[in-house]
Amino acid sequence: MTTAFETEPTLRATMARYPTGLVTVAAGDADGPFGLIASSFTSVSLDPPLVSVNIAATSTTLPRLSAVPQWGVSVLAANQPTVADAFRRPAPRRFDGLGWRREAGGAVLLDGADAVFVTRPRQIVTAGDHVIAVLTVDRHSGDPTVDPLVFYRSRWHRVSALEAH
């Protein structure tokens, strides 16, 4: 007898069936902006205000982020699939053609995002082949009229009004 666990080809394929939002985690230094894209961003606590993001332990961007006091988290808007595509490019070219701003503490925020967060790393926890970065939220803002870009079945999707149950 076969179980559902035995018929799934990979954990990645199974997890791809769970829709997530997309964020960029970015900062800047004397060499310019740098960042990565992640689909594992979530609220951790309201008091104190904490969020988390999972980052591949092999990320070449993570050591650069760790050297900057503030990280910017930009929740991509539904009309920003080209931004998501830009973050698939090699690191030095990810910000080419994108609108962004750098905060005094180094956080880089993307123009047109659904929401933005200026954060400080609070705790980095190694978890398998990733690290979980727990971040303190210093400031945030969002546009309630903008829908987020969603990652589902390994593709970008636009979210329109959802039916409430």
pTM of this prediction? Answer: 0.86
Report d(CA 125, CA 100) in Å as an integer: 29
- Give the per-residue pLDDT at 90: 87
Per-residue pLDDT 10s for the chain (165 aa) are 445 555 556 876 776 665 667 899 999 999 999 999 998 899 999 999 999 999 999 999 999 999 999 999 999 998 998 998 899 888 889 999 999 999 999 999 999 999 999 999 999 999 999 999 999 999 999 988 888 887 766 666 666 655 555
Sign of the dihedral through C-alpha 119, 44, 37, 144: negative
